[in-house]
Amino acid sequence: MPGFESIIDQQQPIRFLTNLLQKGIIPHALLFTGIEGVGKRTVAIKFAMACNCNGKELTDLAESSKSLSKRSGYRINPYKISACDSCRSCKKIQSDNHPDIILIKPSGPFIRIGQIRALYHTLAMKPYEARLRVVIISNAQAMNPEASNALLKILEEPPDRTILILTAIKNSDLLPTIVSRCQQIRFNPISRKNLKNFLAANHGLDPMKADVLAGMADGSFSKALSMQKGNWVQRRKWLINELFSLPSRHIGSILAFAEKLSKSKEMLPDCLQVIQSCLRDLVIYKYCPEKIINKDLIDSIRHASKNMTSASLLSKIEAIEEARKNIQSNANLKLTLEVLMIRLAESSLQ
């Protein structure tokens, strides 16, 4: 599907952007915020395509826009409200070959000042062929302080015929002075239903497996695909079986499970999330069983939920949150997980 029609579950951001295009009023800078994997960069590229699409004759907005053309901080031009995906400009942008569509992303863990300085020199020149040059700074929260200050100078004196689009997880990760110079647009997590349908239609997954992955992915396309590659459906089943067996195991076995988790540090956040989602299901099942996340494990969840009090389950969820904070504070990982697993193993029968 061409243009914005291919974007899923982002009706409000798309409506806002198409309104800008329809009016021909484009701010100097936009800030797209939202979790990873919801389409922020894809929408930024689609917007760049729409700004420069030559597929069909553009509606002449020049006359109606004359009264706005002197307004400070805006560009007045006739634009298409969605790209055709097939004209020369659209194809060059799609293939990352357009000289005036610039993508900046982290080099290693950071976006460094050298990258922003190079951008500054590029922006000092006029666009080669674009109606509107577009700079997309992906994961802008990765800018180090020097890079942030350098970008601020660009935003204070924005170059002609240029728009900057920053993507970030949340605006609090950026300098307030940068945020204040951008028009902010919030992107939502993808619904479980649409994520399931996407995985089934585009990656050939059976509906049950697609639903399980969609439930674990927290509304993120990229996380769902990463979990598919990492065989997280099976890993989740193993983690939940281990969780349910903890109260009946001896201390040595409990500590061995903690040690095994500590050796998979990169996967640990998702492992803890799976365990927490299961504990959440045990609480939710008592009141709204149709709203549990791990629907394919409903029989096991029904049995476990009946044998534990809500207070005990909420205490275990709190223990996971405490462990997360300790891990983020660089506490001893193995010790933190040992304490956590002992707390999760505590039995509390009704």
What's the pTM? 0.82
User: What residue segments make up the domains of the chain, in order of their start?
Assistant: 3-186, 231-345
Q: Is the pLDDT of residue 155 over 90?
A: yes
- DSSP result, 108-130: TTBB-HHHHHHHHHHHTSPPSS-
- DSSP result, 131-156: SSEEEEETTGGGB-HHHHHHHHHHHH
When comparing pLDDT for 2 and 116, which is higher?
116
- CB neighbours of residue 2 within 10 Å: 15
Average pLDDT over every residue of 10-17: 93
Residue with tokens 């997590």: 189
CATH architecture of 231-345: Up-down Bundle (1.20)
Q: In what order do the strands lie in the sheet with 133-137?
A: 101-104, 133-137, 162-168, 29-33, 183-186
Q: Is the pLDDT of residue 61 over 80?
A: no
Q: Is the pLDDT of residue 55 over 80?
A: no
Residue type, 75: R
pLDDT the model gives residue 341: 95
For domain 3-186, is the CATH number 3.40.50.300?
yes
pLDDT the model gives residue 208: 87
pLDDT the model gives residue 302: 93
Task: Write out the H or E segment, with its range, that includes residue 26.
Answer: strand 25-27
| Rounded Cα distance, 199 and 210, in Å | 6
Assign 348 a pLDDT band (cuts: 50, 70, 90). Answer: very low
pLDDT the model gives residue 3: 73
Q: Is the pLDDT of residue 69 over 90?
A: no
Assign 316 a pLDDT band (cuts: 50, 70, 90). Answer: very high
Phi, psi of 28 (to 5 degrees): -65, -30
Percentage of the chain modeled with pLDDT above 90 = 72
Q: Is the pLDDT of residue 33 over 50?
A: yes
Q: At what angle do helices 268-285 and 232-245 cross, to 10 degrees?
A: 60
| Rounded Cα distance, 193 and 339, in Å | 37
pLDDT in tens, 85-124: 889 999 999 999 999 999 999 988 999 999 999 999 999 9
Q: Is the pLDDT of residue 195 over 70?
A: yes
- DSSP result, 222-239: HHHHHHHHTTHHHHHHHH
